[in-house]
Chains A and B, each alone.
Chain A
Amino acid sequence: MKIHYITAIGALIVVAVHIMMRLVMPYSLSLEYENVIANYHNIPYLILLESILVLIAIHGFNGLRVILLELRQSKAWEDGVTILTIAAMMGVVAYGTRTIIIANGLGFE
């Protein structure tokens, strides 16, 4: 459970900063395309977004794995659940990282 608790505490901190970034200006204004893209041009914020992505993906899919292992126990089930949750976690991280990289390269025009 150590990885679950470490990712939980890490995620709490970075998600709090992520939410505060939505509240530094009126909520609807913070969602305007130019403002969101400007966030993706800010390197420290970019690192924060990638941290959120990795920490929550690990925490969330490990939590799902634990729930599924509680429901049923057998070698095949446990191996299958572990492989599937790790694959899903890697897929989500890869897809989210793709968005971060592309959005960072986008201009303002």
Chain B
Amino acid sequence: MESLEDRNNREGIRGWLDPSRYGWERVSYWLQRLTGVGLLAYFVGHIYETSSLTQGPDAWAAMLELTQTPMGHLILMLVIGMSTFHSVNGIRLIFTHGGKGLGRPGRPDYPYDAVSLNYRQKSGIWIALILAAVAMLYGASVLFGGE
């Protein structure tokens, strides 16, 4: 008989990224994590970037030359999109965790679609994606607007 120690059920990052067995909410699950890790990396970079202020105007200007470029603006647009998705989807998750928007529990009937993943949840994920796209467009208009 297989003992508990013999079971290798750790899937690691591959299992984390695999959306095939779990449906649409799995995409939201890993987008939430990927955007979270991306935003944490940006946050640490932003703290470092801002610290150049302490070395005077020349160091600040040198840092701006590095970051205020088309590539820097594209990265900022990505950060705007990531933060909008992470925030809106995060609010959906806070409500879901509190039991809001899950619907009533029902008898599991074939084809066993999860009752909890209803149109409210799916709409929430779509709203997060659409708002992220809108925020990125607004960010692009400010960053590349030429002012």
Distance in angstroms from B51 CB to nearest chain A CB is 5
Residue of A nearest to B12 (CB): A71
Judging by beta carbons under 8 Å apart, are A8 and B36 in contact? no
A72 to B11, CA, bound (A): 9
Best-buried of B10, B50, B60 by chain A (most CB within 10 Å)? B50
Q: Interface size on B (CB < 8 Å)?
A: 31
What's the A-B contact tally at a CB cutoff of 8 Å?
Answer: 74
Judging by beta carbons under 8 Å apart, are B39 and A106 in contact? no
Contact residues of B: prevailing secondary structure: helix
Judging by beta carbons under 8 Å apart, are A60 and B36 in contact? yes
B53 close to A (CB within 8 Å): yes
A79 close to B (CB within 8 Å): no
Q: Report if A103-B43 is in contact (Cβ < 8 Å); known contacts: A28-B147, A67-B36.
A: no
Report chain A residues within 8 Å CB of B13. 71
Report chain B residues within 8 Å CB of A40. 53
Residues of B at the A interface (CB closer than 8 Å) are: 10, 12-13, 16, 33, 36-37, 39-40, 43-44, 47-48, 50-51, 53-54, 57, 60-61, 64, 68, 83, 87, 90, 94, 97, 142-143, 145, 147
Mind listing 12 A-B residue pairs with CB under 8 Å? Answer: A27-B142, A27-B143, A27-B147, A28-B68, A33-B53, A33-B57, A57-B43, A64-B36, A67-B37, A92-B44, A99-B53, A103-B53
Apart from A1-B97, A8-B87, A102-B54, 15 more pairs, CB < 8 Å: A15-B83, A27-B145, A31-B64, A53-B47, A56-B43, A64-B36, A67-B37, A71-B13, A95-B47, A96-B50, A98-B51, A99-B53, A102-B53, A103-B54, A106-B53
